[in-house]
């Protein structure tokens, strides 16, 4: 059969001078620029496009927009593969590779269509009732097979080579929808002087006007409106852009598709998510036509009447020549008339007893057969419709056809306006839901407000656009819009009561939900709309039930013998249309996934081959390969060097906070569990902060620089949290305190010189400074300048060795680092990384993040004496709770590995030697290290108090390595120098 054999030779908005080639399931087909994939498939006579979700029933093209439930396809291949895209929204482009979904081995012959035969057993809730036994884990077994049998398209696994972007945009007035109301609103707002963003998901503006003949008055009006808008410098026309969410603060989430006809696909972003902040928003989102419910209403060849008209007038496609138009309202008659004018044989089956006389007269003039008070009850056909069974005043009859156009009325598109929690309100006169209310700065216009006639919608849009502009102070005089009279009659619908023959009658096509499923849900007590939705999965497909919600609601209302408003309406949530995860991520992938923090010495580490480690956002040296062939060799060598000579560590990542003010000491007394008010100037103190609930929050040292000024350090991980906490307390709990807290983490490069030679290194590096024990005792401060920058030297130790923390202005960090290494060469000073740093602190028994894990108290960590009998600090009251005082709480202990050739592992679960290793055990290993001092692995652990006696044995079981088991002895957590003599060595 020739390509495009269903294409008319004239008309439409396609460019016949620009042919386009594409493939569908490997078959080469052709269309034209201006086609959608759906229109091109129809033009080529392709009626079978997909298979349904559960029953694998053949499905065709049902709509002409984003409401499409059936014709979902997979676009592209390899990394560009994107599943579940409605063929109705895909702009046709040369070289497009498209596959159908959810079928095997082929679309025409799908083995799993056997599910249709099993349909009587596959009703709603079937899986949850049937696959729950015989054991508790049985579902886990069945689920794999059920998921393979049902579903949509498959996502690709290759890396996506395309670029995505997230950006921010602003407007005075945002208008969602480029139909007659939206165009009119945009024109009015722009003319009033507002900065306007007009958002349209299609690649053409016009909305339903595009369904009008291309040589009609509507087309002329559209052309003029577009030209007018393009004349406004302040109007941005955002085509190919769908508004997927509406959020607080008048923020709209938009996703824009790249123009697929662009000849350079790699030169432009494929999809852009825009967060548009507007001062006011006009929703002109139109309305979605409702299907009709009858047996086999899902077969290929059944189509919404408005869609059929769009394919005829916009795309010049005549998908059928023998047509049944089934309707409850006037609107579908226009489809009948246009098809008749195009040469098709048309029958209108109107449910209403007496259709309007004017329509009947026009039908007679065009040769359209009219059957009043008539409905379709059944349909015959497999991959394409062949005939329908009609039920009318004269009883049942059959009619042959190759296209069935249905119209059960219209539902205003209220999804976006519902996203912020505003419930839609039912309007009896249109038998549909409109937005319940608009908050300030939001407006509605056109069909989404129930104003269906085009001329009225244009006036309504003008009003909304003017008001929206006025609400943001733009009130210039605006001339009235051009009128457009499409000779439309009222479109009041007669509510359709589903009439079902032998076959299944679908309410939600995408989720395969039938009238029987709704009846079952009702029988089983799932009468609430929200329960109905979850029980049957109605409305939970990628189309969010755009065509099914009202029919389901009406069916449930009938079953409950209740009105529609009393039956309720489901909650619409973002996204209105699916958004690719790649688009949401934008450029935040790969090395841009998160911002990276680099210390002032970063370039030196890189230049000297350091293996780097991500620690939060920071890049830190993990170990230096000069120290050993791998991390295990290197960290032990680096530890030994610190213990025996001197090591240099980049500690710039520590959180640093400047605390100033007359009440600074009082403030610190309140936020630390131990006191700081009496700390002398020039001295530092280790401090621990608690949360309100008495759990340890963070630890660090704070140094008194002056009477009213302190220099606080925090752990690397908690730096931001601590600053935020301090600011919160000053703003809310103690606004009377005159204290300022400022992060100076980036201000200072920080490095630690640790080891018995550390003082000698300092003396060599700073010959003008007195770093003797008298001038700079343990926990002492020395302030000076180096190369014109401020210099602070604090004598503090994390490793248990004599050590100094050196702080210098960040711009001089690398210079001082190099200077120290040069000066320290004679003293065997070598850099060490975070692995050695962690191991050194484990040997010394210092707690860190693995122990301060948000569950431990001061007493758990052996730090209770720090608080002593103090009171009045944050966390003081709740730390005294009985539960936190229980004697059997897990507390900090040390562990020594007592099995040769074995090692302890962080995360291992601790059991008693004679216990069966099952469950959560008696505690857990938090930190481990090989101890060069002890010659075996040592670790810190949190262990239940009743089994934590020193000298006892425990068994550490590591579930991540096949329950690897090792025996350990409980010892003091301080493995090295318990008297602290090395601090002064």
Partner 1 sequence: MASSMSSRDFSLSVADCPLIQVEGWDGTLTQFEKSVSASLGTKLPASVGETVRHKGLLIIRVAPRRLWLALDEGTQAPALAVDPDLGCSVPLGEGRVRLKMTGPDIARLLSGCVTVDWHAPAAAPGRAVLTSFHHVSVVFLRTGETACELIVPRSFARSLSDWIADG
CA separation for the pair 230, 234 (Å, rounded) = 9
CA dihedral 11, 14, 20, 21 (to 10 degrees): -60
Buried (b) or exposed (e) across 341-370, using 16+ Cβ within 10 A?
A: ebebbbbbbbbbeebeeebbebbeeeebbb
Q: What are phi and psi of 33, to 5 degrees?
A: -55, 130
Are the C-beta atoms of 324 and 426 separated by less than 8 Å? no
Q: Which is nearer to partner 1, 168 or 865 (CB)?
A: 168
**Site residues (CB under 8 A) for partner 1, limited to 550-569:** none
Kindly state whether residue 598 participates in binding partner 1, applying the rule CB under 8 A: yes
Distance, in Å, from the CA atom of 264 to the CA atom of 91, rounded to the nearest integer, reads 16
CB of residue 587 vs partner 1: minimum separation in angstroms? 7
Closer CB to partner 1, residue 165 or residue 783?
A: 165
Q: Is there binding between residue 747 and partner 1 (CB under 8 A)? A: yes
Rule CB under 8 A: is residue 594 a binding residue for partner 1? yes
C-alpha closest to that of 761 among 833, 815, 825, 836 = 825
Q: Does 584 bind partner 1 (CB under 8 A)?
A: no
Distance between CA 303 and CA 62 in Å, rounded?
4
Q: Does 809 bind partner 1 (CB under 8 A)?
A: yes
Tokens encoding 538:
């109605």
DSSP string, 863-882: -HHHHTT--SSTTTTGGGSH
589 binds partner 1 per the rule CB under 8 A: no
Smallest separation, CB 740 to partner 1 (Å): 5
Q: How many CB atoms lie within 10 A of CB 384?
A: 16
If binding is defined by CB under 8 A, does position 311 make contact with partner 1? no
CB 795 within 8 A of CB 685: no
| Closer residue to partner 1 (CB): 784 or 811 | 811
666 counts as binding partner 1 under rule CB under 8 A? no
DSSP string covering 892-944? EEEEEE-STT----TTPEEE-TTS---TT-SEEEEEEEEETTTTEEEEEEEEE
Please say which residue, 325 or 730, places its beta carbon nearer to partner 1. 730
Site for partner 1 in 277-296 (CB under 8 A): 277
Q: Which of 595, 680, 788, 919 binds partner 1 (CB under 8 A)?
A: 595
Chosen residue from 708, 763, 952, 965 binding partner 1 by CB under 8 A: 708
545: left (phi over 0), alpha (psi -120 to 50) or beta: left
Which two three-digit tokens encode residue 534? 């979850």
Query: Which two structure tokens, joined as six digits, stand for 828?
Result: 């065997």
Which of these ranges, 289-297, 537-545, 659-667, 859-867, lies near partner 1 under the rule CB under 8 A?
A: 659-667
* Residue 441 contacts partner 1 per CB under 8 A: no
First-to-last C-alpha distance (Å) of the chain: 94
Indicate whether 740 belongs to the interface with partner 1 (CB under 8 A).
yes
For tokens 């069916």, what's the residue? 555
- Among the listed ranges 20-28, 45-53, 805-813, 849-857, the one in contact with partner 1 (CB under 8 A) is 805-813
Query: According to CB under 8 A, which one of 573, 587, 881, 961 is a site residue for partner 1?
Result: 587
Number of other residues whose CB lies within 10 A of the CB of residue 291: 30
Least distance CB 23 / partner 1 (angstroms): 34
**For residues 111 and 733, which CB has a smaller minimum distance to partner 1 in the complex?**
733
* Residue 582 in the binding site for partner 1 (CB under 8 A): no
Binding residue for partner 1 (CB under 8 A) from 21, 25, 94, 165? 165
- Pattern of binders to partner 1 over 415-434, x per CB under 8 A? --------------------
* CA-based nearest residue to 866, from 678, 687, 692: 687
Residue (674 or 745) nearer to partner 1, CB: 745
Least distance in angstroms from the C-beta of 586 to partner 1: 8
DSSP states of 320-353 as a string?
Answer: -SEEEEEESSSHHHHHHHHHHHTT-EEEEEESSS
Q: For residue 596, state whether it binds partner 1 (rule: CB under 8 A).
A: yes
**Considering only residues 125, 436, 582, 661, which one is a binding residue for partner 1 as defined by CB under 8 A?**
661
Stretch that binds partner 1, among 181-189, 281-289, 654-662, 852-860 (CB under 8 A): 654-662
SS3 string, 261-305, reads CCCCHHHCCCEEEEEEEEEEEEECCCEEECCCCEECCCCCCEEEH
The position carrying tokens 């089934």 is 326
Judged by CB under 8 A, does residue 662 bind partner 1?
yes
Contact flag: residue 592 with partner 1 (CB under 8 A): yes
Quote the least distance from Cβ 748 to partner 1, whole Å.
7
CB of 190 to partner 1, least distance (A): 15
CB of 196 to partner 1, least distance (A): 13
Residue where the block lists tokens 């008048």: 250
* Binding status of residue 167 toward partner 1 by CB under 8 A: yes
Structural Rg of the chain based on CA atoms: 37
Query: Does residue 195 interact with partner 1 by CB under 8 A?
Result: yes
Instruction: Work out which of 80, 789, 889, 934 binds partner 1, going by CB under 8 A.
Output: 789
* Residue 84 in tokens: 């579940």
How distant is the alpha carbon of residue 284 from its chain centre? Answer: 26
Near partner 1 by CB under 8 A, which window of 809-817, 827-835, 840-848, 938-946? 809-817
The residues, any chain, with a CB within 8 Å of residue 733's CB and separated by 6 or more, are none
Find the binder of partner 1 among 810, 908, 909, 976 (CB under 8 A). Answer: 810
Q: Is 717 in the site for partner 1 (CB under 8 A)?
A: no
969 binds partner 1 (CB under 8 A): no
d(CA 936, CA 896): 7
Q: Least distance (Å) from partner 1 to the CB of residue 702?
A: 16
Q: Does 746 bind partner 1 (CB under 8 A)?
A: yes
**Beta carbon of residue 238, minimum distance to partner 1 (angstroms, whole number):** 13
Place of tokens 């029933």: 57
Q: Is 599 in the site for partner 1 (CB under 8 A)?
A: yes
Alpha-carbon torsion angle 400, 404, 405, 409, nearest 10? 100
d(CA 318, CA 688): 78
- The reply to whether omega before 438 is within 30° of 0 (cis) is no
CA distance 872 to 877: 8
Nearer to partner 1, 105 or 788 (CB): 788
CB of 249 to partner 1, least distance (A): 11
Peptide bond into 575 cis (omega under 30): yes
- Measured from the CB atom, the residue of 11 and 586 that comes closer to partner 1 is 586
Binding of partner 1 by 744 (CB under 8 A): yes
How near is the Cβ of 200 to partner 1 at its closest, in Å?
A: 20
**CB-CB neighbours of 157 under 10 Å:** 8
Q: In what order do the strands lie in the sheet with 789-794?
A: 781-786, 789-794, 803-809, 748-754, 646-650, 829-831
Q: What number of chain residues touch partner 1 (CB under 8 A)?
A: 43
Four-residue CA torsion sign, 933, 935, 939, 940: negative
660 is a contact residue toward partner 1 (CB under 8 A): yes
CA distance 192 to 463: 12
Q: Does 615 contact partner 1 by CB under 8 A?
A: no
CB of 613 to partner 1, least distance (A): 16
From the list 111-119, 294-302, 507-515, 580-588, the region that binds partner 1 by CB under 8 A is 580-588
Minimum separation from the CB atom of position 848 to partner 1 (A): 21
What is the rounded distance in angstroms from the CA atom of residue 596 to the CA atom of residue 606? 14
Among 427, 531, 738, 905, binds partner 1 (CB under 8 A): 738
Stretch that binds partner 1, among 304-312, 441-449, 738-746, 823-831 (CB under 8 A): 738-746
838 makes contact with partner 1 (CB under 8 A): no
By the criterion CB under 8 A, which residues form the site for partner 1?
165-170, 195, 275, 277, 586-588, 591-592, 594-600, 618, 652, 658, 660-662, 708-709, 735, 738, 740, 742, 744-748, 789-790, 809-811
């Amino acid at each position: 059969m020739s390509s495009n054999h269903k294409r008319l030779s004239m008309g439409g908005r396609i460019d016949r001078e620009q042919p386009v080639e594409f493939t569908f399931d490997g078959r080469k087909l052709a269309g034209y620029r201006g086609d959608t994939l759906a229109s091109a498939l129809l033009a080529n006579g392709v009626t079978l496009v997909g298979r349904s979700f559960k029953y694998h029933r053949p499905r065709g093209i049902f709509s002409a927009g984003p409401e499409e439930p059936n014709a979902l396809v997979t676009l592209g291949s390899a990394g560009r593969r994107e599943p579940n895209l409605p063929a109705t929204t895909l702009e046709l482009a040369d070289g497009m590779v498209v596959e159908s979904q959810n079928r095997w081995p082929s679309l025409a012959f799908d083995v799993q269509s056997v599910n249709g035969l099993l349909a009587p057993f596959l009703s709603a809730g079937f899986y949850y009732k049937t696959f729950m036994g015989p054991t508790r884990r049985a579902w886990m077994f069945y689920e794999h097979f059920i998921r393979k049998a049902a579903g949509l398209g498959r996502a690709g696994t290759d890396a996506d080579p395309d670029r995505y972007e997230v950006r921010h945009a602003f407007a005075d007035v945002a208008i969602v929808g480029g139909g007659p109301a939206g165009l009119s609103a945009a024109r009015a707002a722009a003319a009033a002087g507002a900065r306007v963003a007009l958002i349209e998901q299609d690649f053409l503006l016009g909305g339903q006007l595009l369904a009008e003949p291309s040589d009609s008055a509507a087309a002329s009006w559209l052309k003029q409106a577009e030209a007018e808008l393009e004349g406004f410098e302040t109007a941005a026309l955002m085509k190919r852009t769908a508004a997927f969410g509406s959020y607080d603060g008048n923020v709209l989430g938009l996703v824009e598709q790249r123009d697929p006809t662009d000849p350079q696909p790699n030169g432009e972003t494929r999809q852009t998510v825009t967060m548009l902040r507007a001062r006011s928003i006009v929703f002109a989102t139109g309305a979605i036509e409702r299907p009709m419910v009858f047996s086999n209403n899902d077969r290929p060849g059944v189509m919404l009447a408005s869609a059929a008209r769009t394919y005829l007038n916009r795309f010049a496609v005549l998908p059928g020549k023998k047509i049944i138009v089934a309707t409850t309202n006037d609107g579908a008659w226009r489809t009948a008339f246009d098809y008749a004018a195009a040469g098709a044989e048309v029958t209108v089956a109107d449910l209403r007893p007496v259709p309007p006389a004017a329509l009947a007269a026009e039908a007679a003039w065009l040769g359209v057969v009219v059957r009043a008070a008539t409905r379709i009850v059944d349909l015959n056909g497999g991959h394409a419709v062949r005939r329908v069974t009609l039920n009318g005043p004269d009883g049942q009859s059959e009619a042959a056809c190759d296209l069935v156009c249905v119209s059960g009325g219209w539902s205003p598109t209220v999804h976006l306006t519902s996203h912020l929690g505003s419930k839609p309100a039912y309007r009896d006169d249109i038998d549909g839901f409109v937005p319940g209310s608009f908050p300030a700065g939001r407006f509605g216009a056109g069909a989404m407000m129930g104003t269906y006639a085009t001329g009225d919608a244009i006036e309504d849009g003008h009003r909304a656009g003017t008001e929206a502009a006025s609400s943001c102070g733009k009130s210039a005089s605006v001339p009235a819009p051009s009128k457009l009279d499409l000779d439309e009659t009222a479109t009041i619908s007669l509510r359709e009561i589903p009439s079902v023959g032998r076959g299944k009658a679908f309410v939600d096509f995408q989720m395969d939900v039938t009238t029987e499923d709704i009846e079952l849900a009702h029988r089983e007590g799932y009468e609430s709309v929200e329960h109905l939705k979850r029980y049957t999965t109605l409305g939970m497909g990628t189309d969010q039930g755009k065509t099914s919600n009202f029919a389901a609601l009406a069916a449930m209302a009938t079953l409950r013998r209740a009105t529609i408003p009393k039956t309720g309406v489901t909650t619409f949530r973002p996204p209105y249309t699916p958004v690719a995860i790649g688009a949401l991520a934008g450029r935040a992938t790969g090395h841009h996934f998160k911002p990276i923090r680099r210390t002032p010495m970063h370039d030196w580490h890189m230049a000297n081959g350091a293996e780097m480690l991500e620690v939060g956002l920071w890049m830190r040296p993990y170990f230096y390969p000069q120290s050993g062939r791998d991390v295990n060799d290197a960290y032990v060598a680096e530890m030994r060097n610190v213990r025996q000579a001197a090591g240099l560590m980049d500690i710039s990542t520590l959180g640093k906070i400047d605390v100033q003010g007359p009440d600074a000491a009082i403030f610190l007394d309140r936020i630390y569990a131990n006191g700081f008010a009496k700390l002398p100037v020039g001295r530092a103190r280790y401090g621990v902060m608690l949360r309100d609930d008495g759990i340890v929050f963070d630890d660090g040292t704070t140094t008194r620089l002056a009477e009213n000024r302190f220099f606080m350090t925090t752990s690397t991980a908690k730096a931001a949290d601590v600053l935020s906490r301090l600011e919160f307390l000053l703003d809310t709990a103690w606004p009377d305190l005159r204290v300022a807290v400022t992060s100076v983490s980036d201000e200072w490069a920080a490095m630690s010189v640790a080891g018995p030679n550390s003082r000698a290194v300092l003396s060599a590096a700073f010959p003008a400074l007195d770093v003797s024990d008298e001038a700079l005792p343990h926990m002492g401060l020395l302030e000076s300048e180096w190369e014109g920058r401020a210099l602070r030297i604090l004598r503090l130790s994390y490793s248990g060795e004599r050590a100094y923390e050196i702080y210098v202005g960040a711009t001089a960090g690398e210079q001082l680092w190099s200077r120290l290494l040069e000066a320290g060469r004679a003293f065997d000073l070598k850099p060490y990384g975070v692995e050695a740093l962690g191991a050194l602190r484990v040997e010394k028994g210092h707690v860190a993040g693995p122990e301060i894990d948000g569950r431990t108290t001061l007493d758990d960590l052996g730090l209770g004496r720090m608080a002593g009998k103090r009171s009045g600090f944050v966390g003081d009251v709740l730390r005294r709770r009985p539960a936190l005082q229980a004697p059997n709480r897990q507390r900090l202990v040390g562990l020594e590995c007592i099995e040769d050739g074995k090692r302890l592992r962080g995360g291992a679960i601790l059991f008693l030697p004679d216990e069966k290793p099952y469950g959560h055990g008696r505690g857990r290993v938090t930190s481990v290290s090989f101890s060069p001092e002890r010659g075996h692995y040592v670790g810190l652990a949190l262990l239940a108090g009743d089994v934590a006696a020193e000298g006892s044995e425990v068994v550490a079981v590591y579930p991540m390595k096949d329950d690897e088991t090792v025996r350990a002895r409980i010892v003091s957590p301080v493995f090295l120098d318990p008297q602290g003599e090395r601090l002064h060595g």
